[in-house]
Every structure is written in C-alpha cells, then in structure tokens.
Amino acid sequence: MKLSWRVVLLWTLPLLVIGFFIWQGAFSGAQANLGNNTASTRMTYGRFLDYLDQNRIVSVDLFEGGRTAIVEAKDPELDNRVQRLRVDLPGNSPELVTRLRKDNISFDVHPPRNDSAIWGLLGNLIFPVLLIGGLFFLFRRSSNVPGGPGQAMNFGKSKARFMMEAKTGVMFDDVAGVEEAKEDLQEVVTFLKKPERFTAVGAKIPKGVLLVGPPGTGKTLLAKAIAGEAGVPFFSISGSEFVEMFVGVGASRVRDLFKKAKENAPCIIFIDEIDAVGRQRGAGIGGGNDEREQTLNQLLTEMDGFEGNTGIIIIAATNRPDVLDSALLRPGRFDRQVEVDAPDLKGRLSVLKVHARNKKLAPEVSLEAIARRTPGFTGADLANLLNEAAILTARRRKEATTMLEIDDAVDRVVAGMEGTPLIDSKSKRLIAYHEIGHAIVGTLIKEHDPVQKVTLIPRGQAQGLTWFTPGEDQGLVSRSQLLARISGALGGRAAEQEIFGDAEVTTGAGGDLQQVSGVARQMVTRFGMSDLGPLSLESQQGEVFLGRDWTTRSEYSEEISARIDAQVRSIVEHCYEVTRKIVRDNRSVIDRLVDLLIEKETIDGEEFRQIVAEYTVVPEKEQLVPKL
C-alpha cells in the first residue's frame, strides 16, 4: 500500500515535535537542580579558594552532589558589593565543608531532583508507543484493501472479483470476428436464462467451457460479453491468483470460491489464464510443483466430484491448451472447447467497424482495403493498428485519419519504428539491389504472393523491406508455394552475388537464409515432400516444461539424417540456381527499378508490376518452379 506524502507528514511532524520536547525536558531536568539560583557569572575554583583565604565569601549553596556551587562573594572592584557567582567544584570535597564550618561561612546542600529519571523513562517509552500507534494506524488503513496486511489471516480466502449483476459494458454485439464462438457461447447464456428449454428435452447444463486461441483473439472479451448478456452473478479470477508460496493456500481458495458460487447459483466463474494452475501433473524433469498440483486436484474435485455444482458454469481461457492436464479437459469438467482463432476477411472487417466507431476517419479510408491488407491480424492487433493510426494523425495535426496514416501504422506494427533514411551511397545501392531481388523473384514466380511495396526506409533492425500480400487461405500450402517462398527469400542474396560478385556478398541475407533452411527441412522431415517419401521423421511436440528444440529426439538413423541433410541442400541449391537465373535474365529491369527506388525510396506493388511488364516477358512456369 502506498502512503501519500500528507500521511507521512502527519506522522513525522508530531514525532519530531514530541522528540524535541523530550530532549528539552531532559535537558531542563538536568539543569533543574540549580533551580532559580543559576548565576550568570562563573568563578574559577582557584579564585574561589583565594576568596576564602581573604574572607570574601559570604555564603555557599552546593548543588549536584557537591559538583557545582553558587557563592555570594564581596568583589573589591565593585566597592565590596555582593555578587552571585557559579563555581565548578572538583567532585566531592569534604575538606571544603570542614573549612566552611571553620570560617563560620553560611552554606547549604541542595539534594538532586529526580525529574531527569522521569524524563528518561518517558524518552524510553515514547518511541515504542509511537511505533505501536503507527502500526495500528496502518493496520486499520489496510484492513479494507484486498490482500493487505490487515487481512493477513485471510490469505486462504478467494481473491475472485464478484459482481452480483455483471455490468461489464460489453455485449455480444461489441465482439466481432468470432461468430462461431459467439454461437456456442450464446447457448450457455440461454442455459442460464431459460434452463427449462433444455431440461425439458433431457439436456444438462454444461459444467465448463474452455476458450482456446492465440493471444489477442478476444477470449477475455467474450467472457465479459457472457457476463453482460447472462445477467447472473459473475466471479472472475486469474489462474495465478490461486498459487501462493504456502502449500494448501491455493486449494483453500478454490474451496472458498466454489462455496461462494454455490451460495449465488446460478452463476458464472471465469478463470483467465488457467494454464497457470492447470498444467500437467508430474511433467518435466525434477518433479512438479506440489502447491500447484494440490490446487489443480481441488479444482478437479470441485468441478466433477461427489458433490455436484448445479447452476455453476466455469469459463476458462488459455492460449496454451497443449500444457493442460488431461483430467481437466475431459467431458464432465470442460464439456466444450471453443476455438477462438484469428478472424478471416469478413471477421477483420467486422472488428475494424467496431474499433472505428470512435475514430475520425477520412471519407476515402476503406475498412475493407485495410482488412484485405492485414491477414493473420487478431482483434487486438487491429485495435492497436487503428490506435497507432490515430496517434500518427494527432502527431501530424490532421483532423481525420487517412490511408497514409493507416499504411504507416501497418508498417510500424509489423516492422517497428521508422528510422532515418539512408544517404545515397554504395551501401544504399546494395540494399536497393537486395530488396529488388526479393521483389523481382516474387513477381515472376506465379505461385509466390504478390508484391505490396518495396522500400528503403529502415524499420526496426531492417535497412530495407519488401512487403508481400499473403493469400487469405494459409491453412494449406502446396509444395510449389513452399518452393516459391524459398526462391523469393533467396532473391536478395542472388541479386548481391550476381550484381556485385562473391566478394561483396553481405550479412543482410542472414534472416532470409534461416527462414529458407527451416522451410526446406520441414518439407523433408514433416511434410514428406522429398525423395525420402511420405514420412514424418520429426515429432511436432516436445516436453511441456522444457525447450522444445532441446528435447526433440531423433527418430531416425544416422544414414537417414545424412539423406535429410542432402535433400535440404538439394532443395535450397536448386531454388538458388533458378533465382540467380531470374536475376541474370532481368538485369535491365532490375537496374531500372533500383534507380527508381533510390530516387523515390518506396515503390508500391502496382507500379512495380507495371514496370516489370514493360521490360519482361514472364518465363514459363516450368522454368521457375524448381523440380527435384
């Protein structure tokens, strides 16, 4: 809990004031022995003895156990007027008292007062009292904070947020791009509102619904929409909030959560990121997490144990269903698994319409064009895209967002921040040939995705970029498409080698070669697209808690491993030769495009294809698609 500066000042000032008065009181107590007899003028002990010898001392008052004396003496320099002087005596001096009696000098001994002891006792007690008071104050302030120190004895209670009538502000109409998931979840809402419609035909209410999908597809948003549509009590909690360092706390919180849910049934329990508590038990090296496994066991028992939970529907969300325990996924616990995938073209258009409601867009902005340009974008990506475009609009002091801001926002989201343009130099020309090499190969190979634009403006770590527009259906990819992708990725290296020679080949193709090697190896070991035949030689799954690449086991002999390496090399070399041939045969158009790219720094896809069509006759397909 954070304390404001006012609270700190409120407690610090009284402490300083009280400490000052304690010190002042102790000092006053130490001086109180002198009473009102404190003299303003001091006399040395030697002079005091001289005055005794000259019979100039009238009276002596001893204080502080004989260590200090206030004397009345006749001063010859002031016509023998009596003065009060203070003398510091050298400890106890019994011979002084004897001499005073002998000389018939009036003297008195004043015993020390005990005020200093009282102030010392108060000084020792005041700090503990203030400390206890401060702790009590903080304890009271934090008693209303969930999980605060005031609730130290309630760490076994559930931390779920509870809403009797969930007014999340989100309805199904606000969730776009996941129509199939909305249809499945609509039945859950109907179960809660009108259960008799289903029980009349013998149907039972589902116990659990698991929302599965990549990050940003709208799983949590769907849960909020269910809560808003159903109008029933709604409990929401994250999977990580169950697990604590103390064994048994998570299981206790699960019991408390379901106890509250039973008291408010029918209701909905939403567990976000359930993989934090629902991972496979006993997996990995070195055993598992005892606290997390006990929490999972309690969750399994509450969902489908001896005691039924009629009227309680559990909705969970995760983007890692492969790590969940099999007992958690069986029917009777999570009866339904709803896939929430990235939206298609129609879904992206719907998502853009939802997020464009509060955005000022220029009339020429086409949401359909944006949707076509953003295949693979999730709902969160599209929301971020429009927000970045709005930020750019405000930065450029425009009243409405145009397609220019949309295009720049897409580039920024995908590739990163825009860097400083390169100056005209040999390095810039080499990068231009590299990017034109990618684009010319991608344009002349029919199976390759069309070029969207080529730019020399640096973004992120890239000094130049060639953008392609991928097709809508990326679920199934043919062998010719994979070979075309390999050839397109090798276009930059081929252009460097053909134009500048082997000595001027740069490291700019490092990422391209890594991509090429990965695709070619998957063609051989996973997709059966080589002379080895239709065999899957590598597992696509690894251990749950370990790095998948590290735990991938070889399921073939050393001879097969050598043949795999040979096949991968053959595929890449064949594609590279075809790519170099395309660059050699189209040198004139490449030089023209490089000069234009250096001049304009960006060439869009349509202009690029028009220039290529003027200079080039597209070769036959058999020449461009490598054959093995």
Q: What is the helix (H) or strand (E) element at residue 313, kind and residue range?
A: strand 312-318
CA distance to 91, 377, 392, per residue, from 404 (Å): 95, 19, 10
Contacts of 164 (CB under 8 A, 6+ apart): 233, 264
304 token code pair: 């489908």
Q: In what order do the strands lie in the sheet with 234-238?
A: 161-163, 234-238, 267-272, 312-318, 208-212, 336-339
Residue showing tokens 């991968």? 568
Give the HSE-up count for residue 301: Cα atoms under 13 Å, Cβ half-sphere: 11
CA atoms within 13 A on the CB side of 471: 12
Cα 191 from chain centroid?
Answer: 36
Contacts of 193 (CB under 8 A, 6+ apart): 230, 231
Q: Is 528 helix (H, G, I), strand (E, B) or coil?
A: coil
**Distance in angstroms (rounded) separating the CA atoms of residues 495 and 582:** 9
The yes-or-no answer on residue 555 being catalytic is no
Q: Which residues pair with 475 in a beta bridge?
A: none
H helices present in 502-557, as ranges: 510-525, 548-551
Residue type, 337: Q
Round to whole Å and give the CA distance between 399 and 571: 53
Angle at 30 between CA 25 and CA 31, to 5 degrees: 95
* DSSP annotation of 508: G
d(CA 538, CA 528): 11
Q: What is the DSSP letter of 79?
A: T
Mapping DSSP to helix (H, G, I), strand (E, B) and coil, where does residue 231 land?
Answer: coil
Secondary structure letter of residue 112 according to DSSP? P
Contact of 319 with 340, CB cutoff 8 Å: no
- Decide: helix, strand or coil at residue 467: strand
Sheet holding 57-63, edge to edge: 41-43, 81-88, 68-75, 57-63, 106-109
Catalytic entry in 229, 241, 435, 496 = 435
Encode 364-396: b = buried (16+ Cβ within 10 Å), e = exposed: ebebeebbebbbebbbebbbbbbebbbebbeee
How many residues are given for the chain?
Answer: 628
Structure-token pair, residue 610: 């028009």
Torsions phi, psi of 527, nearest 5? -105, -5
Residue 339 pairs with which residues in a beta bridge? 212
Catalytic residues: 435
